A and B are shown apart, each in its own frame.
Chain A
Protein backbone atom coordinates (compact mmCIF):
# COMPACT_ATOMS: atom_id res chain seq x y z
CA UNK A 1 0.00 0.00 0.00
CA UNK A 2 2.93 2.26 0.65
CA UNK A 3 3.95 1.95 -2.98
CA UNK A 4 0.48 2.99 -4.08
CA UNK A 5 0.34 6.07 -1.86
CA UNK A 6 3.68 7.43 -3.00
CA UNK A 7 3.42 10.22 -5.61
CA UNK A 8 4.77 9.63 -9.10
CA UNK A 9 7.54 11.90 -10.30
CA UNK A 10 9.70 12.39 -13.37
CA UNK A 11 12.11 9.79 -11.97
CA UNK A 12 9.55 7.01 -12.26
CA UNK A 13 8.81 7.90 -15.85
CA UNK A 14 12.53 7.99 -16.60
CA UNK A 15 12.92 4.48 -15.19
CA UNK A 16 10.24 3.28 -17.63
CA UNK A 17 12.02 5.14 -20.44
CA UNK A 18 15.35 3.58 -19.43
CA UNK A 19 13.93 0.06 -19.46
CA UNK A 20 12.34 0.57 -22.90
CA UNK A 21 15.57 2.11 -24.21
CA UNK A 22 17.73 -0.75 -22.96
CA UNK A 23 15.27 -3.33 -24.34
CA UNK A 24 15.50 -1.61 -27.71
CA UNK A 25 19.30 -1.55 -27.65
CA UNK A 26 19.44 -5.27 -26.83
CA UNK A 27 16.87 -5.91 -29.55
CA UNK A 28 18.96 -4.02 -32.11
CA UNK A 29 22.15 -5.80 -31.07
CA UNK A 30 20.94 -9.37 -30.63
CA UNK A 31 18.19 -9.96 -33.22
CA UNK A 32 19.14 -11.57 -36.49
CA UNK A 33 15.91 -10.68 -38.29
CA UNK A 34 16.09 -7.26 -39.94
CA UNK A 35 12.52 -6.51 -38.88
CA UNK A 36 13.46 -7.31 -35.28
CA UNK A 37 16.20 -4.69 -35.52
CA UNK A 38 13.57 -2.23 -36.77
CA UNK A 39 11.36 -3.02 -33.77
CA UNK A 40 14.33 -2.33 -31.49
CA UNK A 41 14.67 1.10 -33.08
CA UNK A 42 10.99 1.79 -32.40
CA UNK A 43 11.47 0.82 -28.74
CA UNK A 44 14.49 3.13 -28.38
CA UNK A 45 12.57 6.07 -29.86
CA UNK A 46 9.66 5.41 -27.53
CA UNK A 47 11.90 5.31 -24.49
CA UNK A 48 13.23 8.73 -25.46
CA UNK A 49 9.66 9.96 -26.01
CA UNK A 50 8.60 8.88 -22.53
CA UNK A 51 11.41 11.01 -21.10
CA UNK A 52 10.48 14.04 -23.21
CA UNK A 53 6.81 13.90 -22.25
CA UNK A 54 7.58 13.36 -18.57
CA UNK A 55 9.92 16.33 -18.45
CA UNK A 56 7.35 18.55 -20.15
CA UNK A 57 4.61 17.71 -17.64
CA UNK A 58 3.71 20.17 -14.89
CA UNK A 59 2.31 17.49 -12.58
CA UNK A 60 5.43 15.42 -12.02
CA UNK A 61 7.87 17.91 -10.50
CA UNK A 62 8.41 18.77 -6.88
CA UNK A 63 7.15 22.20 -5.78
CA UNK A 64 9.16 24.90 -7.49
CA UNK A 65 10.63 22.64 -10.13
CA UNK A 66 10.43 23.99 -13.67
CA UNK A 67 9.19 21.75 -16.45
CA UNK A 68 10.18 21.97 -20.09
CA UNK A 69 6.71 23.22 -20.92
CA UNK A 70 5.33 22.57 -24.35
CA UNK A 71 8.77 22.10 -25.91
CA UNK A 72 9.02 18.53 -24.71
CA UNK A 73 5.64 17.61 -26.18
CA UNK A 74 6.47 19.30 -29.50
CA UNK A 75 9.77 17.40 -29.71
CA UNK A 76 7.91 14.18 -28.89
CA UNK A 77 5.55 14.87 -31.80
CA UNK A 78 8.50 15.41 -34.14
CA UNK A 79 10.04 12.15 -32.91
CA UNK A 80 6.81 10.28 -33.65
CA UNK A 81 6.62 11.68 -37.18
CA UNK A 82 10.29 11.03 -37.93
CA UNK A 83 9.94 7.49 -36.57
CA UNK A 84 7.13 6.90 -39.06
CA UNK A 85 9.33 8.17 -41.89
CA UNK A 86 12.28 6.07 -40.73
CA UNK A 87 10.13 2.94 -40.51
CA UNK A 88 8.86 3.48 -44.06
CA UNK A 89 12.33 3.81 -45.55
CA UNK A 90 13.88 1.01 -43.49
CA UNK A 91 11.01 -1.31 -44.41
CA UNK A 92 11.47 -0.47 -48.09
CA UNK A 93 15.19 -1.27 -47.83
CA UNK A 94 14.43 -4.54 -46.04
CA UNK A 95 11.90 -5.56 -48.70
CA UNK A 96 14.41 -4.70 -51.41
CA UNK A 97 17.04 -6.81 -49.66
CA UNK A 98 14.54 -9.64 -49.35
CA UNK A 99 13.68 -9.45 -53.03
CA UNK A 100 17.32 -9.53 -54.09
CA UNK A 101 18.74 -12.04 -51.61
CA UNK A 102 15.69 -14.07 -50.50
CA UNK A 103 16.61 -13.63 -46.82
CA UNK A 104 16.08 -11.13 -43.99
CA UNK A 105 19.06 -12.29 -41.93
CA UNK A 106 21.21 -9.26 -41.19
CA UNK A 107 24.28 -11.48 -40.87
CA UNK A 108 23.95 -12.38 -44.55
CA UNK A 109 24.16 -8.73 -45.62
CA UNK A 110 27.94 -8.79 -45.86
CA UNK A 111 28.53 -7.95 -49.51
CA UNK A 112 30.43 -4.80 -48.59
CA UNK A 113 32.81 -6.66 -46.29
CA UNK A 114 36.38 -6.05 -47.35
Chain B
Protein backbone atom coordinates (compact mmCIF):
# COMPACT_ATOMS: atom_id res chain seq x y z
CA UNK B 1 0.00 0.00 0.00
CA UNK B 2 2.68 2.41 1.10
CA UNK B 3 4.78 1.29 -1.82
CA UNK B 4 2.01 1.98 -4.30
CA UNK B 5 1.54 5.45 -2.87
CA UNK B 6 5.24 6.12 -3.14
CA UNK B 7 5.41 4.95 -6.70
CA UNK B 8 2.58 7.20 -7.64
CA UNK B 9 4.40 10.21 -6.19
CA UNK B 10 7.37 9.50 -8.46
CA UNK B 11 4.99 9.32 -11.38
CA UNK B 12 3.44 12.53 -10.22
CA UNK B 13 6.86 14.12 -10.06
CA UNK B 14 7.54 13.10 -13.63
CA UNK B 15 4.29 14.51 -14.94
CA UNK B 16 4.57 17.11 -17.64
CA UNK B 17 3.57 20.35 -15.97
CA UNK B 18 2.36 23.54 -17.56
CA UNK B 19 5.26 25.69 -18.70
CA UNK B 20 5.25 29.23 -17.51
CA UNK B 21 5.03 32.51 -19.33
CA UNK B 22 7.47 35.31 -18.72
CA UNK B 23 6.82 39.03 -18.83
CA UNK B 24 9.90 41.21 -18.80
CA UNK B 25 9.00 44.86 -18.56
CA UNK B 26 11.36 47.80 -18.97
CA UNK B 27 14.35 46.10 -17.39
CA UNK B 28 17.53 48.16 -17.08
CA UNK B 29 20.83 47.15 -15.55
CA UNK B 30 24.20 48.88 -15.47
CA UNK B 31 27.64 47.82 -14.26
CA UNK B 32 30.67 49.68 -13.01
CA UNK B 33 33.73 48.87 -15.07
CA UNK B 34 37.23 50.31 -15.32
CA UNK B 35 36.14 52.56 -18.17
CA UNK B 36 33.05 53.84 -16.39
CA UNK B 37 29.43 52.82 -16.18
CA UNK B 38 28.26 50.32 -18.77
CA UNK B 39 24.57 50.12 -19.51
CA UNK B 40 24.18 46.38 -20.01
CA UNK B 41 20.41 46.47 -20.46
CA UNK B 42 18.45 49.51 -21.50
CA UNK B 43 14.69 49.31 -20.89
CA UNK B 44 14.33 45.83 -22.31
CA UNK B 45 10.80 44.48 -22.60
CA UNK B 46 9.98 40.99 -23.73
CA UNK B 47 7.12 38.54 -23.43
CA UNK B 48 7.65 34.83 -23.68
CA UNK B 49 4.57 32.69 -24.15
CA UNK B 50 3.97 29.44 -22.31
CA UNK B 51 6.05 26.70 -23.85
CA UNK B 52 7.78 29.02 -26.26
CA UNK B 53 11.39 28.57 -27.32
CA UNK B 54 13.01 32.00 -27.54
CA UNK B 55 16.60 32.60 -28.59
CA UNK B 56 18.54 35.74 -27.70
CA UNK B 57 21.33 36.47 -30.15
CA UNK B 58 24.01 39.12 -30.03
CA UNK B 59 27.71 39.82 -29.82
CA UNK B 60 29.43 38.97 -26.56
CA UNK B 61 28.97 41.64 -23.92
CA UNK B 62 25.62 42.80 -25.26
CA UNK B 63 23.76 42.06 -22.05
CA UNK B 64 21.91 38.94 -23.15
CA UNK B 65 23.48 36.81 -20.42
CA UNK B 66 22.70 39.51 -17.88
CA UNK B 67 19.05 39.36 -18.90
CA UNK B 68 19.12 35.60 -18.39
CA UNK B 69 20.60 36.03 -14.89
CA UNK B 70 17.87 38.52 -14.06
CA UNK B 71 15.15 36.14 -15.25
CA UNK B 72 16.79 33.43 -13.15
CA UNK B 73 16.69 35.76 -10.15
CA UNK B 74 20.46 35.58 -9.69
CA UNK B 75 20.79 39.31 -10.35
CA UNK B 76 18.44 42.16 -9.62
CA UNK B 77 17.57 44.75 -12.28
CA UNK B 78 18.19 48.43 -11.51
CA UNK B 79 14.67 49.13 -12.68
CA UNK B 80 11.83 47.28 -14.35
CA UNK B 81 10.15 44.02 -13.45
CA UNK B 82 10.24 40.37 -14.37
CA UNK B 83 7.06 38.36 -13.90
CA UNK B 84 6.85 34.60 -14.14
CA UNK B 85 3.21 33.57 -14.40
CA UNK B 86 2.25 36.97 -13.11
CA UNK B 87 4.41 36.73 -9.98
CA UNK B 88 7.46 38.97 -9.61
CA UNK B 89 10.83 37.24 -9.67
CA UNK B 90 12.81 38.31 -6.61
CA UNK B 91 15.11 35.39 -5.95
CA UNK B 92 16.36 32.26 -7.69
CA UNK B 93 13.94 29.37 -7.61
CA UNK B 94 13.69 25.89 -8.99
CA UNK B 95 10.81 26.81 -11.32
CA UNK B 96 13.44 28.56 -13.43
CA UNK B 97 16.59 26.49 -13.79
CA UNK B 98 19.73 27.56 -15.56
CA UNK B 99 22.11 25.63 -17.75
CA UNK B 100 25.40 27.49 -17.92
CA UNK B 101 28.06 27.63 -20.58
CA UNK B 102 30.48 25.83 -18.27
CA UNK B 103 28.93 22.64 -17.02
CA UNK B 104 29.15 23.88 -13.39
CA UNK B 105 28.83 20.29 -12.22
CA UNK B 106 29.96 19.47 -8.70
CA UNK B 107 33.18 17.45 -8.85
CA UNK B 108 32.71 15.94 -5.38
CA UNK B 109 29.58 14.12 -6.57
CA UNK B 110 29.31 11.51 -9.28
CA UNK B 111 26.92 11.90 -12.23
CA UNK B 112 23.99 10.52 -10.28
CA UNK B 113 24.76 12.67 -7.26
CA UNK B 114 24.76 15.77 -9.42
CA UNK B 115 21.34 15.00 -10.88
CA UNK B 116 20.04 14.20 -7.40
CA UNK B 117 21.28 17.49 -5.94
CA UNK B 118 18.25 19.56 -6.91
CA UNK B 119 15.86 16.71 -6.23
CA UNK B 120 17.06 16.39 -2.64
CA UNK B 121 16.00 19.98 -2.12
CA UNK B 122 12.46 19.23 -3.23
CA UNK B 123 10.20 18.38 -0.34
CA UNK B 124 7.91 15.34 -0.25
CA UNK B 125 10.05 13.08 -2.35
CA UNK B 126 11.13 9.73 -0.97
CA UNK B 127 14.57 8.34 -1.63
CA UNK B 128 13.15 5.95 -4.18
CA UNK B 129 11.22 8.70 -5.97
CA UNK B 130 14.37 10.75 -6.31
CA UNK B 131 16.27 7.80 -7.72
CA UNK B 132 13.53 7.00 -10.20
CA UNK B 133 13.32 10.61 -11.32
CA UNK B 134 17.09 10.98 -11.67
CA UNK B 135 17.27 7.74 -13.66
CA UNK B 136 14.51 8.95 -15.95
CA UNK B 137 16.33 12.19 -16.79
CA UNK B 138 19.69 10.53 -17.28
CA UNK B 139 18.00 8.24 -19.77
CA UNK B 140 16.28 11.21 -21.41
CA UNK B 141 19.65 12.84 -22.11
CA UNK B 142 21.16 9.50 -23.15
CA UNK B 143 23.49 8.88 -20.23
CA UNK B 144 21.84 5.90 -18.53
CA UNK B 145 25.08 3.95 -18.30
CA UNK B 146 27.11 6.69 -16.68
CA UNK B 147 25.36 7.05 -13.35
CA UNK B 148 28.42 6.42 -11.27
CA UNK B 149 31.03 8.02 -13.48
CA UNK B 150 33.09 10.83 -12.01
CA UNK B 151 32.67 14.23 -13.58
CA UNK B 152 36.29 14.62 -14.65
CA UNK B 153 36.05 11.40 -16.63
CA UNK B 154 33.36 12.77 -18.95
CA UNK B 155 33.83 14.54 -22.27
CA UNK B 156 32.63 18.13 -22.67
CA UNK B 157 29.47 17.00 -24.43
CA UNK B 158 28.66 14.43 -21.77
CA UNK B 159 29.19 17.00 -19.04
CA UNK B 160 26.64 19.27 -20.70
CA UNK B 161 24.23 16.34 -20.91
CA UNK B 162 24.56 15.79 -17.17
CA UNK B 163 24.09 19.52 -16.72
CA UNK B 164 20.90 19.36 -18.77
CA UNK B 165 19.62 16.39 -16.78
CA UNK B 166 20.41 18.21 -13.54
CA UNK B 167 18.52 21.29 -14.72
CA UNK B 168 15.54 19.23 -15.88
CA UNK B 169 15.30 16.95 -12.86
CA UNK B 170 13.45 19.30 -10.47
CA UNK B 171 10.88 19.72 -13.26
CA UNK B 172 11.21 23.49 -13.75
CA UNK B 173 8.67 25.39 -15.78
CA UNK B 174 11.31 27.51 -17.42
CA UNK B 175 14.70 26.43 -18.69
CA UNK B 176 17.27 29.19 -19.09
CA UNK B 177 20.22 28.23 -21.26
CA UNK B 178 23.30 30.44 -21.36
CA UNK B 179 25.35 29.50 -24.42
CA UNK B 180 25.30 25.88 -23.35
CA UNK B 181 26.92 24.53 -26.52
CA UNK B 182 29.47 27.28 -27.13
CA UNK B 183 32.40 25.29 -25.80
CA UNK B 184 31.57 22.08 -27.67
CA UNK B 185 32.90 20.86 -31.01
CA UNK B 186 30.61 21.14 -34.04
CA UNK B 187 29.73 17.45 -34.23
CA UNK B 188 28.70 17.18 -30.58
CA UNK B 189 26.73 20.41 -30.90
CA UNK B 190 24.71 19.11 -33.85
CA UNK B 191 23.66 16.07 -31.82
CA UNK B 192 22.42 18.41 -29.15
CA UNK B 193 20.19 20.34 -31.58
CA UNK B 194 18.13 17.24 -32.24
CA UNK B 195 18.08 16.20 -28.58
CA UNK B 196 17.10 19.57 -27.21
CA UNK B 197 14.19 19.87 -29.64
CA UNK B 198 13.00 16.39 -28.71
CA UNK B 199 13.30 17.08 -24.97
CA UNK B 200 11.60 20.46 -25.31
CA UNK B 201 8.68 18.78 -27.04
CA UNK B 202 8.53 15.85 -24.63
CA UNK B 203 8.88 17.84 -21.42
CA UNK B 204 7.08 20.93 -22.65
CA UNK B 205 9.18 23.76 -21.18
CA UNK B 206 9.44 27.45 -21.75
CA UNK B 207 13.02 27.96 -22.93
CA UNK B 208 15.07 31.13 -23.13
CA UNK B 209 18.25 30.33 -24.96
CA UNK B 210 21.23 32.71 -25.21
CA UNK B 211 23.75 32.24 -28.00
CA UNK B 212 25.98 34.14 -30.40
CA UNK B 213 25.51 31.50 -33.07
CA UNK B 214 22.82 32.75 -35.46
CA UNK B 215 22.26 29.43 -37.19
CA UNK B 216 21.87 27.68 -33.86
CA UNK B 217 19.28 30.26 -32.82
CA UNK B 218 17.34 29.86 -36.07
CA UNK B 219 17.43 26.08 -35.74
CA UNK B 220 16.09 26.02 -32.18
CA UNK B 221 13.92 29.06 -31.63
CA UNK B 222 10.27 29.82 -32.32
CA UNK B 223 11.48 33.38 -32.19
CA UNK B 224 14.96 34.87 -32.47
CA UNK B 225 15.61 38.21 -30.80
CA UNK B 226 18.58 40.25 -31.86
CA UNK B 227 20.43 42.18 -29.15
CA UNK B 228 22.47 45.28 -29.79
CA UNK B 229 25.36 46.02 -27.45
CA UNK B 230 26.08 49.11 -25.30
CA UNK B 231 23.38 49.82 -24.37
CA UNK B 232 21.84 46.36 -24.55
CA UNK B 233 18.54 46.54 -26.41
CA UNK B 234 16.37 44.21 -28.42
CA UNK B 235 16.92 45.47 -31.93
CA UNK B 236 15.10 43.06 -34.13
CA UNK B 237 12.85 40.06 -33.99
CA UNK B 238 12.44 37.08 -36.28
CA UNK B 239 9.72 34.46 -36.22
CA UNK B 240 11.05 31.15 -37.46
CA UNK B 241 8.20 29.35 -39.18
CA UNK B 242 9.74 26.04 -40.03
CA UNK B 243 8.44 22.59 -39.15
CA UNK B 244 10.17 20.66 -36.39
CA UNK B 245 12.38 18.84 -35.83
CA UNK B 246 14.65 21.17 -37.74
CA UNK B 247 17.93 20.17 -39.24
CA UNK B 248 20.76 22.64 -38.71
CA UNK B 249 22.01 21.99 -42.26
CA UNK B 250 18.71 22.53 -44.07
CA UNK B 251 18.47 25.07 -46.85
CA UNK B 252 15.36 26.77 -45.46
CA UNK B 253 17.19 27.37 -42.24
CA UNK B 254 20.11 28.90 -44.12
CA UNK B 255 17.71 31.45 -45.65
CA UNK B 256 16.53 32.49 -42.21
CA UNK B 257 19.98 32.67 -40.74
CA UNK B 258 21.29 34.80 -43.59
CA UNK B 259 18.42 37.25 -43.03
CA UNK B 260 19.29 37.46 -39.35
CA UNK B 261 22.97 37.82 -40.13
CA UNK B 262 22.24 40.71 -42.47
CA UNK B 263 20.39 42.51 -39.73
CA UNK B 264 23.24 41.75 -37.33
CA UNK B 265 25.71 43.26 -39.78
CA UNK B 266 23.74 46.49 -40.07
CA UNK B 267 23.69 46.59 -36.29
CA UNK B 268 27.46 46.19 -36.06
CA UNK B 269 28.06 48.92 -38.62
CA UNK B 270 25.83 51.37 -36.81
CA UNK B 271 27.54 50.43 -33.57
CA UNK B 272 30.96 51.15 -35.05
CA UNK B 273 29.76 54.46 -36.49
CA UNK B 274 28.25 55.42 -33.16
CA UNK B 275 31.51 54.73 -31.37
CA UNK B 276 33.58 56.65 -33.86
Asked if A and B bind, the verdict is no
Interface residues of A, Cβ cutoff 8 Å to B: none
Interface residues of B, Cβ cutoff 8 Å to A: none
